[in-house]
Structure 1
Amino acid sequence: MSDEFYMNLALNEAWKYQILTYPNPAVGCVVLDKSGKILSIGAHKKAGFLHAEPSAILLALCEISDDFLHKFILNYDQKFNTNFLDISDKHELLEKLKEVYLNAVFTYDFIMQNHGDLLDGAKAYVTLEPCSHYGKTPPCANLFVQLKFAEVVISCEDKNKIASGGISILQNAGIKVKVGVLKQDGGMLLKPFLSWQEGNFSFLKVALSVNGAATGGVISNETSRAHMHSIRSIVDLLVIGGNTVRIDRPKLDARLVKNGKSPNVLIFSREQKFDESLPLFHVKGREVEISNSLLRAKKSPLVMYEGAQEFLNLAKNGALPNVKWLLLYQSSNFKNEPNLLSQIYLKSVFRSNFADDSYGWYEIV
């Protein structure tokens, strides 16, 4: 298999957590053993938790060694009162470890102290240059050095002066480094991160039935909605059109996410009067602003626009500030509602599925 094949696996894994890593970038990592067998595919899932590299390395070590896996979950259960030991099936346990948010410092230190040179001569594919600094988590570049990796293939260099330097650490340790594999695709993955670092990343979210209906209550399945609620709990501001508020009466909370924070809301409307019984006005801890200006949206780092017809038409005409991306959920079910009508051109960047639903990221061309 080519370097591009493995890097594409890392990129696809990272895209699953796009936005959810805010304010960090989405990053993916693939680990191969010295014979070229894929051991693991990991990603950074949430700021403050494991980066992509230690996530993939942990899974690789657990795949190689049942003793390492048992020792890790035994110590993790004791330290954090979790119940990984209750899962007897190894495949199910590895899937669980891949899904959850593991404590970054504990896991990193455990790997450093217990790796036993099991990954000596291994190879990694990473979508972004491994970090070299101590922030909320320890530096990823040091892991590759201490575990004696033979080669690290990188899609994009890190231009952040604080986090960069990982390539030099790897090279100085004698690890072979290759940079620029699928660089354009890696750059696309980084675009949201670079945009909010510069002041603002805004995107439009739309949910459609299979026949193109965007109204009439719940459209997507629960897994799709849970993903969308996770994103809601991350954004700095949610913008919704006044017509959508009046017709659909949405709550716009993050109830499908454990301890999810419901976003502050800007209702974009010329008409300032709304029914005070609307659910979105009664969410604890939320600020709601009604305005015919999008100035606040321009000044917020991460903004999600919700509402299909009115915002799609505005986005098509460039009237939504900085909105160049669309997050589209599509149900597999028909809905007896009018179809959404808009002529807008999109470039598909990433597509995947939540059970029978599909979803994807698109650039507005």
Structure 2
Amino acid sequence: MAEPLDDATMARAVELAAYGLGTTSPNPVVGCVILDASGAPAGEGFHARRGGPHAEVVALRAAGVRARGGTAYVTLEPCDHTGSTGPCTEALLAAGIARVVYAVADPNPVAAGGADRLRGHGVEVEQGLLAEEAERVNAAWLTSVRLGRTHVTWKFAATLDGRSAAADGTSKWITSPEAREDVHRLRARADAIIAGIGTILADDPLLTARPPETGARREPPLRVVVDTGARTPATARVLDGSAPTLLAIAATTETTLDAGLLRLPYRPDGLDLHALLRELRGRGVVSAILEGGPTLAGAFLREGLIDRVVGYVAPALLGSGRAALGQAGVSTITGIHSLVYEEVSLIGPDLRLIARPAPKEK
């Protein structure tokens, strides 16, 4: 049974894991804390970059000889395979760790099995401590492994009455500089930024993370334009070369655009978005920010492809104009897309709301 010390130590491991967001993809974020045999803190670490040492190895190095007979708290089941680094199970065993407490089982069949390996060598192993918190911080990677597609966060900015633009189409700026700066931090942690052709034609956005976060990110987020008919102008800023860009077009569309193209099946209601996210995952895109207009956001929501919502709500009213969300497949109240708030906070004068789809009733 978990004790208060266990909870507090795993909470620290979850906090450490978050430091790796934006720099470890396509690998998970993981945090680890080592307590010595007496229960005193001995070392801690997190997975900081793709190809770098895993959290357990970093924490064990910090702990040194004090790790022997101690306990390791890890947010994800220690891996039992050799990739760009060796198995974490071997490192834990070599250090003489007596007990391992981990939050979430590794769903990747290639890396799973670490808990059984440790038990087989006499290590006491416990699973599930603060699992919900650990799942949340690693939600993008877990979605990508479990569902085989990219995890999607829909970001929107709106007035208090839900308008993303005025009646004449103007929308610059609804939210504050503080909110816009926060959006760039959000972008910098993602592998891709997705927008629709309507947004490209209306606003000509750069879709970049500015300024880039400090840290170990190796490249800027991929810019993805959902553009069924390849209508993106050759002069569009998303094609400026400052970041990689991919145009998702219908398989039958002909174009002379000099850009990366992803040809997808076309359905009566638009491109196959499930295929888009599978293809992106195959290219190493674990997490994406959806910044398209209301039509594209509604299409993703209809298909059940929005995993998180981050909304920036300005203390202002328009009374008319474009809604933040378009048709989402709801014709009656029983079809409502229910969410659960995870965070409500002020960003400058604006309200930031973070929510996830509510668990479906069984």
TM category, shorter: 0.5 to 0.7
* More strand per residue: 2
Q: How does 1:18-57 map to 2 (within 5 A)?
A: 18=21, 20-57=23-60
1:305 aligns with 2:294: no
From 167, 172, 176, the counterpart of 1:216: 172
1:228 aligns with 2:186: yes
Cα 1:188–1:204 shift into 2, 3 Å: closer
Cα 1:44–1:358 shift into 2, 3 Å: farther
Deviations 1:255-282 (A, max 9, x none): 5347524514223467x54544321122
Give the conservation status (yes or no) of the 8 Å contact 1:40–1:56: yes
Give the conservation status (yes or no) of the 8 Å contact 2:16–2:45: yes
From 224, 236, 243, the counterpart of 1:278: 236
Cα 1:359–1:56 shift into 2, 3 Å: farther
From 338, 342, 345, the counterpart of 2:338: 345
Please give the alpha-carbon distance, in whole angstroms, between the structure 2 residues aligned to 1:356 and 1:148. Answer: 52
Amino acid in the other structure paired with 1:199: G
Cα 1:20–1:308 shift into 2, 3 Å: farther
Please give the alpha-carbon distance, in whole angstroms, between the structure 2 residues aligned to 1:33 and 1:330. Answer: 44
Give the conservation status (yes or no) of the 8 Å contact 1:352–1:360: yes
Shift of 1:27: 1.9
Amino acid in the other structure paired with 2:99: E
Cα 1:19–1:311 shift into 2, 3 Å: farther
Please give the alpha-carbon distance, in whole angstroms, between the structure 1 residues aligned to 2:41 and 2:311. Answer: 31
Q: Identity over the aligned pairs, expressed in percent?
A: 23
Structure 1: unaligned runs, 5 residues or longer: 62-114
1:128 aligns with 2:76: yes
Shift of 1:252: 1.4
Q: Residue 246 of structure 2 corresponds to which residue in structure 1?
A: 287
Shift of 1:135: 0.9
Please give the alpha-carbon distance, in whole angstroms, between the structure 2 residues aligned to 1:191 and 1:249. Answer: 31
CA RMSD after TM alignment? 3.9
1:204 aligns with 2:153: yes
Shift of 1:172: 3.9
Deviations 1:29-52 (A, max 9, x none): 222233333455533233211222
User: Higher mean Cα deviation, 349-358 or 118-127?
Assistant: 349-358
Deviations 1:288-346 (A, max 9, x none): 34554245514331454223544443444x24xx5131252648x86798796558532
Amino acid in the other structure paired with 1:293: L
1:247 aligns with 2:202: yes
Give the conservation status (yes or no) of the 8 Å contact 2:44–2:59: yes
Please give the alpha-carbon distance, in whole angstroms, between the structure 1 residues aligned to 2:322 and 2:9. Answer: 40
Structure 2: unaligned runs, 5 residues or longer: 165-170, 251-269, 326-335
From 141, 150, 153, the counterpart of 2:89: 141
Give the conservation status (yes or no) of the 8 Å contact 2:69–2:96: yes
1:153 aligns with 2:101: yes
Give the conservation status (yes or no) of the 8 Å contact 2:196–2:226: yes
Shift of 1:57: 3.2
TM-score (norm 1): 0.66
Deviations 1:203-253 (A, max 9, x none): 133153796775425856486355334344x33xx4312332233321113
Other structure's SS at 1:323 match = coil
Please give the alpha-carbon distance, in whole angstroms, between the structure 2 residues aligned to 1:220 and 1:39. Answer: 42
Amino acid in the other structure paired with 1:306: E
Other structure's SS at 1:287 match = strand
* More helix per residue: 1
